Amino acid sequence: MSWYEFKPLDTLFFKDASPMNMGQDHSAQSLFPPAAGTLAGALRTAVLDQNNIAYDDYHAGKIPSELETAIGKAGAHAPFSLIGPFLKKGETLFLPTPYNWFVDKDRSLSPVYKARIISSPLIATDNDRLVWAKGEGTELENMGGQWAPLSKFTTIKREDIKPTSYFYCDEIRTGIAMDGSRRVREGHLYSFTHVRLLEDVSLVFGVSALLPLKKEGVLSVGGEKRFGPYQQISAPEIPQGSSGFFMTLTAIEAGEQQQNALVAGGKLLYHGGWDLKKGFHKPMKAYYPAGSVFDKKISENCIEI
């Protein structure tokens, strides 16, 4: 397992799954943090660039066998997986919060309640797994979709959990549409929501394989050719619990196995992307967000909490 830290020089843009057809809509939202597949594509591209291999040669299979083994054939899935991305602010690394964490909505100093499976003759349900969290206030608030410091993950308090605004902000960018001859289309404006990391914030992610990459270099990530420096770092020590619940550290594809094992999860994310070899959109797939909790280890990207 290799670990990397990436700091973009400007904003980042990862378009969500909403359609943006000419004449129907003029805006698009950004999906952040980026999907693991997006970062995998950026790493594969960096390997090609650092080895002076043109994209056309790669797509035609004109690539040394050892590099093809490392990054996979053009158009095929990467032969490696990613963990994360996580967010790092200063020297503190943050993990996604599990979706089975709750706090009292009306108490700022509420403890964190961790939902568990219970059985009770007082509650009738058609599900043999009843997940329950009991607080002290009148209403509970789910903490999924936020971020918790790695160093305090097993002894978490409400004040330790940080919202997304602690790490980045949105910026609206407006542009003009052009035709095939690069001339402006009259009356065609569009706006994208970009993400700007706040000061001292970076992305951290792990790669399951040792890629033929320099320890320091440049990654181009997401839309509009955004880039920034990366560096290889030491592996973080991710804590393991003993609850019998497993949290995914990466957005994970939603399927029957995942659905049957799901304990708590957020709103499904939809990822597609662009197939460089085919020059066409990739099929849209649904994913459970990072922080989703399952009753079994359904992926190597899961940790027991």
Instruction: Give the ranges where the chain is alpha helix by DSSP (H).
Output: 36-50, 55-59, 65-71, 256-261
pLDDT band at 16, cuts 50/70/90? low
CA distance 28 to 190: 8
CA distance 214 to 119: 53
CA distance 147 to 68: 36
Q: Would you state the pLDDT for residue 122?
A: 72
CA distance 197 to 87: 10
More confident residue, 182 or 265: 265
pLDDT band at 223, cuts 50/70/90? low
More confident residue, 272 or 65: 65
CB 43 within 8 A of CB 216: no
- Domain spans, the chain: 2-304
Q: How many CB atoms lie within 10 A of CB 294?
A: 23
Could you tell me the pTM of the whole model?
0.87
β 92-96/216-220 pair status: unpaired
Backbone angles phi, psi at 177, to 5 degrees: -90, 150
| Section 39-53 average pLDDT | 94
> 235 by DSSP, 3-state: which?
coil
Q: Count of residues for the chain? A: 305
